Amino acid sequence: RKEVEQDPGPFNVPEGATVAFNCTYSNSASQSFFWYRQDCRKEPKLLMSVYSSGNEDGRFTAQLNRASQYISLLIRDSKLSDSATYLCVVNNQAGTALIFGKGTTLSVSS
């Protein structure tokens, strides 16, 4: 099982749609979880941390299920500018580094 697995997509949705991305991780000892966004040929940018109780930031909602080792990201009311690759990130066993998934590509069209 890969350390961090994501559905690569692409997800093609119209503006205004709600879209959800899923991610599973293999290390049950992981303590830190993040979603990053990466635009084409650019560096990743932190979108949001993921907390055990779930958290929301505007149109973005992140959920964590430790029992299932599953993380999700929900985007409501998609905008054209949301088109990017979304990276699921967890820390490694030692807690010293972050492990990145391959990313899920989202394309929002008008």
Q: Under the rule (CB under 8 A), what is the footprint of other proteins?
A: 31-32, 34, 41-46, 49, 87, 91, 95-103
DSSP E strand boundaries for 1-110? 4-6, 11-14, 19-25, 33-38, 44-49, 55-57, 60-65, 70-75, 84-91, 98-100, 104-109
Which one, 53 or 110, has the nearer CB to other proteins? 53
Residues 6+ apart with CB under 8 A from 94: none
Q: Which is nearer to other proteins, 5 or 69 (CB)?
A: 5
For the CB of residue 18, give the shortest distance to other proteins in the complex, in Å: 26
Name which of 17 and 98 has its Cβ closer to other proteins: 98
Phi-psi region of 102 (alpha: psi -120 to 50; beta: other; left: phi over 0): alpha
Closest approach of other proteins to the CB of residue 15, in Å: 26
Q: Give the tokens for residue 17.
A: 């749609």
Smallest distance, other proteins to C-beta of residue 48, A: 9
Query: Closest distance between other proteins and the C-beta of residue 44, in Å?
Result: 5
Q: Which residues pair with 77 in a beta bridge?
A: none
Considering the complex, state which of residue 18 and residue 42 has its C-beta at the smaller distance from other proteins: 42
